[in-house]
Amino acid sequence: MNTVKTVRELRAAVARARSEGKRIGLVPTMGNLHSGHAALVAKAAQRADFVVASIFVNPMQFGPSEDLDKYPRTLAADQEKLIQAGCNLLFAPAVEEIYPDGMAVQTRVSVPQLSEGLCGASRPGHFEGVATVVSKLFNMVQPDLAVFGQKDYQQLAVIRALVRDLNMPIQIIGEPTARAEDGLALSSRNGYLTQDQRSAAPALYASLTQVAAAIRAGDRDYPALIATARAQQEAAGFKPDYLEIRHAINLRQVTAEDRDLVIVAAAYIGTTRLIDNLHLDLDAHA
Ligand code: PAF
């Protein structure tokens, strides 16, 4: 696996692969890779012949009081994991390579509605930063397909929308969330947790599975289900940010008649904000 740092080298390497008739797959990441990322790369390797991963901690998607500076940077370990997972090329640019004239004058991509509410409400500008950098990466690599984790459910919806709205010929693949044995969704931010917080953290997903079980059993009193789940999270030491049942495709508010649902949550444990979700297609389970 080659590691390149400039767009010029990236384009040259991808052009070589394409001239050999290879299908190109892209896995954008911010590094500090865990087995969830490895699964994204493995999925890309199944569906494409040449897998490009990117590692870029994108300052545009971090708010002023967020964890940009302390976000873990672990390039050497990440390179090892990418090799194991079947990655062919790593693009690991500096901030100046992506935003050569600075972020203030950078053209931005914004996806209305889908970017509002949920994580968009507590992280203003976050999805504009994601949509902008992902659009840039898509234009730099011009992949046939790109793989993203379903853990960032709203992000995946935003990316699907931008690809559709900007007519990018890229297939977007959502990979199911990788979890620890106790159910906690794998995340680079889990590394911030103390031992006690790590022990309590599976309560986040447990609260979502209880809501899902109640809905499957026919309960449609969503406000009551949400209130119970919030109380469960609080009892485990979480401070819920949001916990909602939304439509799985367009993330709009649901009615009791909707069948394709996603239960989405963000909650603080100490100063660490964790997110998770559970997709519930009632017709698939009927
Ligand atoms: O999910 C992430 O790690 C980031 O938001 C992404 C998609 C790599 C864009 O910076």
pLDDT, the chain, mean: 97
Architecture field, domain 188-279? 2-Layer Sandwich (3.30)
Q: DSSP letter at 117?
A: S
Q: Is 37 a catalytic residue?
A: yes
What would the pLDDT profile of 69-79 be if each residue is shown by its tens digit? 999 999 999 99
pTM value is 0.97
Atom of ligand 1 nearest to the CA of 61: 10
226, pLDDT greater than 70? yes
Q: Whose CA is nearest to atom 2 of ligand 1?
A: 29
Q: What is the pLDDT of residue 80?
A: 98
Identify the residue whose tokens are 């963000």. Answer: 266
Please give the distance, rounded to the nearest whole angstrom, from the Cα atom of residue 63 to the centre of ligand 1: 14
pLDDT bracket for residue 34 (50, 70, 90): very high
Q: Which two tokens stand for residue 172?
A: 């977007």
Q: Would you kindly state where each structural domain of the chain is located, as residue ranges?
A: 2-175, 188-279
27, pLDDT greater than 90? yes
Q: What is the pLDDT of residue 149?
A: 98
Please give the distance, rounded to the nearest whole angstrom, from the Cα atom of residue 226 to the centre of ligand 1: 28
Query: Average pLDDT of 106-121?
Result: 97
Question: In sequence order, what are the residues at sequence separation of 6 or more whose Cβ sits closer than 8 angstroms to the Cβ of residue 145?
Answer: 23, 24, 25, 26, 44, 47, 48, 170, 171, 172, 173
What would the pLDDT profile of 124-179 be if each residue is shown by its tens digit? 999 999 999 999 999 999 999 999 999 999 999 999 999 999 999 999 999 999 99
Q: Quick check: 245 and 254 in contact, CB under 8 A? A: yes
What superfamily would CATH give domain 2-175? HUPs (3.40.50.620)
What would the pLDDT profile of 54-71 be if each residue is shown by its tens digit? 999 999 999 999 999 999
Q: Is 29 in the pocket of ligand 1 (CB under 6 A)?
A: yes
